[in-house]
């Protein structure tokens, strides 16, 4: 079992790698003067996905936070109303 420090380093390394991959894909690759058949382009999907994928993940993330918050607010209000009815 990995310790928290090792797990944190692994997550940090993965996050940095994803950031640099995305940065190269969005900020550098479109301005490089290379052909479509170049092997570098085979490592990256079409540029339209560079904006669609983060948008979809962002909507899912914010929706998850909203559902989590609404569930806990609803359960808190249900507990507080059941306590006042019993009293």
Q: Are residues 53 and 27 in the same domain?
A: no
Domain check: are 51 and 77 in the same one? Answer: yes
Report the percentage of the chain scoring pLDDT > 70. Answer: 92
Neighbours of 64 (CB within 10 A): 10
What is the separation of C-alpha 12 from the centre of its chain, rounded to a whole number of angstroms? 14
The string of pLDDT tens digits covering residues 54-63 is: 999 999 999 9
* pTM of the model as a whole: 0.67
Are residues 30 and 53 part of one domain?
no
The two three-digit tokens of residue 53, written as one number: 């994928």
Domain count, the chain: 2
Mean pLDDT (whole number) for 64-85: 87
Same domain assignment for residues 55 and 28: no
How long is the chain? 87
Domain that holds residue 29: 1-36
Same domain for 59 and 29? no
Nearest to 43 by CA among 20, 11, 70, 12: 20
If asked whether residues 31 and 59 sit together in one domain, one would say no
Same domain, 29 and 49: no
């Amino acid at each position: 079992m990995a310790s928290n420090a090792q797990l944190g380093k692994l997550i940090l390394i993965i996050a940095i790698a994803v950031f640099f991959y995305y940065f190269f894909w969005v900020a550098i690759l479109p301005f490089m003067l290379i052909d479509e058949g170049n092997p570098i382009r085979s490592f990256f999907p079409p540029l339209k996905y560079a904006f669609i994928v983060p948008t979809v993940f962002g909507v899912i993330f914010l929706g998850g936070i909203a559902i989590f918050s609404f569930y806990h607010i609803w359960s808190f209000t249900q507990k507080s109303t059941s306590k006042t009815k019993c009293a």
